[in-house]
């Protein structure tokens, strides 16, 4: 069978790579082509466009790149038509992927959507598009099933893909040596997009001198320019490791985390954290009006209460981060309570192997 798969950012590429491994196990003759990143390419997909070219964050950046986005859509549609897939698999990335879903529907190609757009947080109109254009929707949070039922969408809960990834993970030998040498580690996860790291990391690094008993390890990513991490590399109490977030979390006592998938990953590694986020004033003013959930971190959203502290916009300051970190490392009761909440969170997410479940659903639907 021929599969066309599209992911538009780093986390989508990670989960797409795992899905492709299972697809190829179940369908040894599979031909897989699409848009994504190094993980999907390494798993066996013919990579047409890398997500580093297509990832735009924030309302303003999307607006100023509309012409480029339209060009990408045109290119993708042309490539899909030429490849003539038996199924299209879309991974998150809703602004782009829902347009491709509508196109695929016009061609009569089955559309499988893995990792639903977060329409429960904002832009609920997209749920209607999902109903019209998506044949099978695979969700990774249990509450999403009830949400989509209100829109007559039969969402399938397949478990959370991070569960199997983290359960199967073993830290590298280099990370073990580093972290045993510096046994008081605070992880710094500034994000995986250029704009995130540029706006978050400098503020995060201002905390370092306030906690001299700790060594800070920054999780850099290889898809971004190394120059973004220059300030961290020059600090004597900071180490930068590239594409090693899981290694870092394996040995950390606490973490400073930019809101996103990393907040859930940090919780699944049982590392107490403070969640941070800051964007442009323009994007933030719009977000406040349209976002329909009371939290921004996935940990709090899934738990449906505040488990981790969120420092957003004007609250994202070195002094506020320092205060929270001190509570996380020194206040035994506060720390224990967060870890207990993490245990409840893991139970909510279950133990399913999400990429395996999705691969089975896709292959079975075509045979």
In CATH terms, 167-349 corresponds, of 1.10.3720.10, 3.40.50.10320, 3.90.1330.10, 3.40.50.2000, to 3.40.50.2000
In the CATH hierarchy, which fold is given to the domain comprising 2-159+352-366?
Answer: Rossmann fold (3.40.50)
Q: Is the pLDDT of residue 285 over 70?
A: no
- Asked if the model's pLDDT at residue 134 lies above 80, the reply is yes
Residues 84-115 pLDDT 10s: 999 999 999 998 999 999 999 999 999 999 99
Domain with CATH 3.40.50.2000 in the chain: 2-159+352-366, 167-349
Average pLDDT estimate for 221-235? 94
Quote the mean pLDDT of the chain: 91
223 pLDDT band (50/70/90 cuts)? confident
Q: Give the tens place of pLDDT for each residue, 160-188.
A: 999 989 988 998 887 777 766 667 999 99
User: DSSP alpha helices (H): ranges in 184-226?
Assistant: 194-205
- First-last CA distance in the chain: 9
Q: How far, in Å, CA of 188 to CA of 211, rounded?
A: 13
Report the C-alpha dihedral over residues 152, 158, 163, 165, rounded to 10 degrees: -120
DSSP strands (E only) in the chain: 2-7, 31-36, 46-50, 87-91, 111-114, 136-139, 156-157, 185-189, 215-220, 238-242, 254-258, 273-277, 309-312
Average pLDDT over residues 269-286: 82
User: C-alpha angle 273/94/344, rounded to 5°?
Assistant: 30
What are 310-348's pLDDT values in tens digits? 999 999 999 999 999 999 999 999 999 999 999 999 999
Tell me how far apart the alpha carbons of residues 133 and 110 are, in angstroms, rounded to a whole number.
9
Kindly state the average pLDDT of the residues 131-157.
95
Can you give the pTM of this predicted structure? 0.87
Contact at 8 Å (CB) between 96 and 8?
yes
Assess whether pLDDT exceeds 70 at residue 281: no
Question: What pLDDT shows up at residue 177?
Answer: 75
| Residue 83 pLDDT | 98
Average pLDDT over residues 225-231: 96
> Does residue 204 carry a pLDDT above 70?
yes
Per-residue confidence (pLDDT) for residue 329, from 0 to 100: 95
Beta strands in 45-150 (DSSP E): 46-50, 87-91, 111-114, 136-139
What is the pLDDT at residue 174?
Answer: 76
What is the average pLDDT across 71-78?
94
Percent of the chain topping pLDDT 90: 77
Please write the tens of the pLDDT for every residue from 21-65: 999 999 999 999 999 999 999 999 999 999 987 665 555 455 555
pLDDT of 367 strictly over 90:
no
pLDDT at 294 over 90: no
């Amino acid at each position: 069978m021929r599969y066309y798969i599209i992911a538009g950012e780093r986390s989508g590429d990670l989960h797409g790579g795992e899905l492709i491994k299972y697809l190829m196990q179940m369908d040894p003759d599979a031909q897989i082509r699409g848009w994504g990143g190094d993980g999907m390419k390494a798993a066996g997909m013919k990579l047409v466009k890398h997500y580093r070219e297509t990832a735009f964050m924030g309302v303003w950046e999307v607006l100023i790149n509309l012409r480029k986005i339209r060009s990408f859509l045109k290119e993708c549609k042309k490539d899909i038509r030429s490849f003539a897939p038996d199924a299209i698999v879309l991974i998150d990335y809703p602004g782009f992927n829902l347009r491709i879903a509508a196109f695929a529907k016009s061609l009569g190609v089955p559309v499988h959507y893995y990792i639903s757009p977060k329409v429960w947080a904002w832009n609920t109109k997209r749920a209607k598009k999902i109903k019209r254009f998506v044949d099978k929707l695979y969700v990774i949070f249990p509450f999403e099933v009830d949400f989509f039922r209100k829109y007559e969408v039969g969402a399938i809960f397949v478990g959370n893909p991070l569960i199997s990834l983290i359960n199967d993970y073993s830290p590298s030998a280099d990370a073990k040596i580093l972290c045993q040498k510096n046994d008081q580690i605070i992880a710094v996860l500034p994000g995986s997009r250029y704009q995130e790291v540029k706006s978050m990391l400098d503020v995060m690094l201002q905390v370092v001198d306030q906690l001299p008993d700790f060594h800070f390890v920054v999780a850099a990513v290889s898809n971004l320019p190394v120059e973004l991490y220059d300030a961290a590399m020059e600090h004597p109490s900071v180490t930068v490791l590239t594409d090693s977030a899981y290694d870092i979390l394996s040995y950390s006592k606490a973490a400073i985390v930019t809101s996103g998938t990393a907040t859930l990953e940090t919780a699944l590694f049982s590392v107490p954290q403070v969640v941070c986020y800051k964007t442009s004033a323009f994007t933030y003013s719009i977000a406040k009006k349209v976002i329909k959930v009371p939290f921004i971190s996935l940990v709090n959203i899934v738990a449906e209460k505040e488990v981790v502290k969120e420092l957003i916009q004007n609250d994202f300051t070195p002094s506020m981060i320092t205060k929270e970190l001190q509570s996380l490392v020194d206040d035994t009761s506060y720390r224990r309570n967060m870890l207990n909440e993490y245990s409840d969170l893991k139970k909510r997410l279950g133990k399913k192997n999400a990429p395996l479940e999705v691969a089975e659903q896709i292959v079975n639907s075509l045979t």
